[in-house]
Amino acid sequence: MARHPSILQITTHDSGRHFGCYGHSTLHTPTIDALAADGVRLTRYFATVPICSASRATQLTGLYPQTHGLMDLCGYPFRWRIRDDVRHMSQLLKAAGDTTHLFGIQHEVVREELPRLEFDSIQGQGFPAAKAIAADVADFLRSRGKEPAPFYAQIGFFQTHTPFDHGGAEPDDEHGVEIPPYLADCESSRRAMAAYQGAIRHVDEAASVIMEALHESGREDDTIVVFTTDHGIEMPRAKWFLYDPGIAIACIVRYPEAGVTGGGACDLLLSNVDYLPTVLDLAGIPAPDGLQGKSFAASLRGESVQPVREAVFALYHKSQSRCVRTNRFSLIRHFDAPIDFATVPVRFEEVLAKRGIRQVELFDLETDPNQFENVAEKPEHADVRARLDTMLWEWMESVDDPLLKGPVRTPSYEAAMADYRAWRGSAGT
């Protein structure tokens, strides 16, 4: 079997693009920023779902949620799961000859189903602090030294999930506090964002431990390092929503041996469904047939600047919403009433009071990057709406979206109906 590189992948919870290297100066992320300065930073990279399990399953299978089957959260009471015939990245890499290792949280399967992912070792399940996970990873890297056999290390940090104080993280306002434009600039917003900044500082310090150990192992140049997240931060109008704050995510890749280095930016429009085929391509491992993502490895290596896709697509199951986003426009269709909640005061509520959320939302991202003005009903945007509608409907058909056949029944509903049928049968009627 031909030699291929090791893969070290760090995924954080609920972080969007809230890192210093993405222009957020109040965040203390020197390690992540240094990785970006020595790797390639994706600037237009989007999640397919603004919720943890479904987004991660897409990232690690190369399939859309309608195809891999996990459309919301795994585990009780949600019960969604990856279909049995779908192969996870860990399974593919194990078949390619890697040893596979899980450190910290994963959100693709319930704990009872972890064996199906075929990891050779599992450490830090539950919700250990990021620094404890990092210590385990560092021990693993140092114990291997320059062992040439490839490994896959899947590392998951829970730290940036609410309430942001996990592992003893404390609020961080050393460099001030940045309030996103969709949140009201008030005391509760500042407390929430300072708490988030403290959590991401802990994550960065944990990442520093891992990167130092990788350096000491002598395997920096022939290891693909990826730092990414699953969806936007847990704030109103971000996580759980198909606006950019919910689906715009960070991804940084470094692989010096293949020229993926130098601190450049990849500005192509990309989706996290493209992640698996890209990493396999970088590693020189053939991708299985049937993947719906597209490799952008050539762009990372600086060999091509050709667009990989014209649009990205996203969904959120609970509100039965679907989205198509191009570089210029975002169109969101709601097949049910959107969720309505707020955990901190938000300007979004003022926007709702003025215009509500309509069945179709269309935003011109060039003139309205915050997506506050719905232009779906404006005559001058009729052609754009029609074009994006066509793209969305065609995508939904291509993935056999169950919404096209009616409201989607959840696994919990199906379980309840199985109980009902059993009761009806025992009742003899």
Is 277 in the same domain as 324? no
Residue 425 covered by a domain: no
Q: For the segment 17-33, what is each residue's pLDDT rounded down to a tens digit?
A: 999 999 999 999 999 99
Claim to verify: residue 252 and residue 319 sit in the same structural domain: no
Same domain, 333 and 288: no
Burial class (CB in 10 A: 0-12, 13-18, 19+), 179: middle
How many domains does the chain contain in total? 2
For residue 427, being part of any structural domain is answered with: no
- 296 and 347 co-located in one domain: no
Instruction: Reply yes or no on whether the pLDDT at 83 is more than 90.
Output: yes
Q: Please check whether residues 74 and 203 belong to one and the same domain.
A: yes
Q: Is residue 418 part of a domain?
A: no
Query: What does pTM read for this prediction?
Result: 0.93
Structure confidence by residue, pLDDT tens digits, 189-218: 999 999 999 999 999 999 999 999 999 999
C-alpha span between 333 and 389 (Å, rounded): 9
Find the CATH number of the domain harbouring 378: 3.30.1120.10
Residues 280 and 395 in one domain: no
Domain match, 190 and 219 both: yes
Query: Do 261 and 208 fall within a single domain?
Result: yes
Same domain for 383 and 268: no
Tell me, yes or no, whether 194 and 275 share the same domain.
yes
Whether residues 215 and 316 fall in one domain: no
Last residue of a domain, one of 279, 300, 321: 300
Q: Does residue 419 lie within any of the structural domains?
A: no
Domain boundary among 251, 279, 300: 300
Residue 422 within a domain: no
Give 160-186 pLDDT, tens digit per residue. Answer: 998 888 888 999 999 999 999 988 899
* CATH code, 187: 3.40.720.10
Identify whether residues 338 and 213 lie together within a single domain. Answer: no
- What band does 304 get if pLDDT is binned at 50, 70 and 90? confident
Average pLDDT, the chain: 92
Residue 193 included in any domain = yes
Residue 352's pLDDT is 47
Q: What is the residue range of 404's domain? A: 312-411
Q: Is residue 157 part of a domain?
A: yes
pLDDT band at residue 338 under the 50/70/90 scheme: low
416 lies in some domain: no
